[in-house]
């Protein structure tokens, strides 16, 4: 339930707001320079005569999905090891608890850093 709400609000709401803003804003020379002659936007009209709209160019999800899947697998492996060694996934003695938490935070930070790097390097 809450994941669906997060996805709809986290992705859907900003996209809807952007679409409304672009529709209301009217023609923009920056948009015209970038999208008027771009292939694949036939739904906006003929090349050179397109109405302005919110456009999100498709990118590759392969890198992000690969990194996410790898890190998710590492997280599951960490939890499985903790269950075998400590008898539970979360909590426990001080040092192992903090090491496990640090590993999970490090994986999260690495995911953000790698995703940002990939996004910025492809521009």
- Average the pLDDT over 47-58 and give the result: 78
Half-sphere exposure (Cβ direction) of 55: Cα atoms closer than 13 Å: 18
Task: Inform me whether the pLDDT recorded for 40 exceeds 90.
Answer: no
The single-letter DSSP state of residue 16 is H
Which is higher by pLDDT, 3 or 47? 47
To the question of pTM greater than 0.95 for the whole model, the response is no
Which of 34, 36, 61 has the alpha carbon at shortest distance from 46?
A: 36
Of 19-33, 73-87, 89-103, the range with the highest mean pLDDT is 73-87
Q: Quick one: pLDDT band at residue 66, thresholds 50, 70, 90?
A: very high
Spatial contact of 97 and 57, defined as CB atoms under 8 Å apart: no
| Backbone phi and psi for residue 61, each to the nearest 5 degrees, phi listed first | -90, -5
Which is higher by pLDDT, 4 or 13? 13
pLDDT at 32: 83
């Amino acid at each position: 339930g809450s994941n669906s709400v997060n996805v709809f609000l986290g992705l859907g709401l900003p996209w809807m707001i952007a679409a409304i803003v672009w529709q209301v804003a009217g023609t923009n020379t920056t948009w015209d320079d970038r999208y008027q002659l771009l292939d694949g936007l036939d739904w906006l009209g003929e090349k050179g005569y397109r109405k302005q709209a919110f456009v999100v160019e498709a990118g590759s999800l392969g890198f992000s999905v690969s990194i996410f899947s790898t890190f998710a697998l590492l997280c599951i492996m960490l939890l499985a090891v903790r269950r075998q060694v400590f008898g539970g996934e979360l909590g426990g003695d001080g040092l192992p608890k903090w090491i496990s938490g640090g590993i999970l935070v490090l994986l999260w930070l690495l995911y953000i850093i790698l995703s940002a790097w990939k996004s910025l390097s492809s521009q």
